Chain A
Amino acid sequence: MWKWLHPYAKPEASFRLAGAFVPWFTALAVLCLSIGTVWGLLFAPSDYQQGDSFRIIYVHVPAAILSMGAYLTMAIAGFIALVWQIKQSEIYVAAVAPIGAGFTFIALLTGAAWGKPMWGTWWVWDARLTSELILLFLYLGVIALYNAFDDKALAGRSASILSLVGVINLPIIHYSVEWWNTLHQGASITKFAKPSIDSAMLWPLLINIVGFGAFLGALSLVRFRTELLKREQRRPWVRQLLLGTGEA
């Protein structure tokens, strides 16, 4: 049943498949991010309590959701890399970590810039903020660990183990606003019931979430391809692809 998938285990095939997806993800990201951001900044109604400061939601929430989503895909890839020893999975772990770190950084920074006018403080050491900060450290740890070894097989295995261990932080981040008293508000859109945010505000938010997701998809594939080429650079197919020569 899954036999059609087997040829993609070949590095050359997964390189080409990843390349085929890049332009689509890029187009979707550019489209969604521009529509969602313009809509959110110009056309969404301002909040009755928070005024126009609530517009920070259009970068804060997508970055925060995708910082966790990216981590989840990284941990799943780490699991696959450790159990089935698929090299491409290790490479994906290394490829996605810097993007996830960027998203986490954005979530923290925009959170601070939103917290200052609304809560009166840039930062508090409460559960949601601290656990998100730990997520940033986990990403940085994965990046540092992968770069610490010259033997990339060992590097990939170590980074995979760390990403898998760190997955415990994801439910902590998600439920932190319910388990502990915090300044951070509860979920507005991720609960199963009707969202507690008006649809005029919700639509641009959803579009930007898709946009951040497509951005993650496009860039993780670009970085995946680079890292795959690096790991395979002594193989003939890479020489042929980059230099247009058969022999190496």
Chain B
Amino acid sequence: MQFDSFADFVAMGGYGFYVWLSFGCTLLTLGAVVVDSILKRQALTRSISQIKAKQDRMLAAREVKERL
């Protein structure tokens, strides 16, 4: 362990602002890419099932019309 106390660790020998800026932005950027990847997948699943539901409704309506 290179630091004597938590305050020491946060201070990073006077470079705290730059070190935490770097690690913070890295975490945010990586997190954003992860979240974007997950949201894209969910949006796709939703849109495919919506298209499928619409097709099902159209098929059902056509069947009703044919029966009349």
Contacts and interface: CB of A to CB of B under 8 A. Distances in A.
Interface of A: 37, 41-46, 51-53, 55-56, 59-60, 63, 98-99, 102, 105-106, 109-110, 113-114, 116-117, 215, 219, 222-223, 225-226, 229-230, 233, 238-239, 242-243, 245, 248
Nearest to A220: B37
Given A51-B14, A56-B19, A110 B26 contact: yes
Contacts of B26: 59, 63, 106, 109-110
Interface in B23-51: 23, 25-26, 29-30, 32-34, 36-38, 40-41, 44-45, 48-49, 51
A116 B19 CA distance: 11
Contacts of B33: 98-99, 102, 219
Which among B26, B38, B41, B55 has the highest number of chain A CB atoms within 10 Å? B26
B29 A102 contact: yes
Contacts of A42: 1-3, 9
Interface residues of B, number: 32
Consensus secondary structure, chain A interface:
helix
B49 A113 contact: no
Given A98-B36, A230-B44, A243-B48, 8 more contacts: A51-B12, A52-B14, A63-B26, A98-B33, A110-B22, A215-B30, A219-B37, A222-B41
Contacts of B58: none
A226 B22 contact: no
Given A106-B25, A106-B26, A222-B41, A43 B18 contact: no
A226 B48 CA distance: 12
B56 to A, nearest CB: 10
Nearest to B32: A102
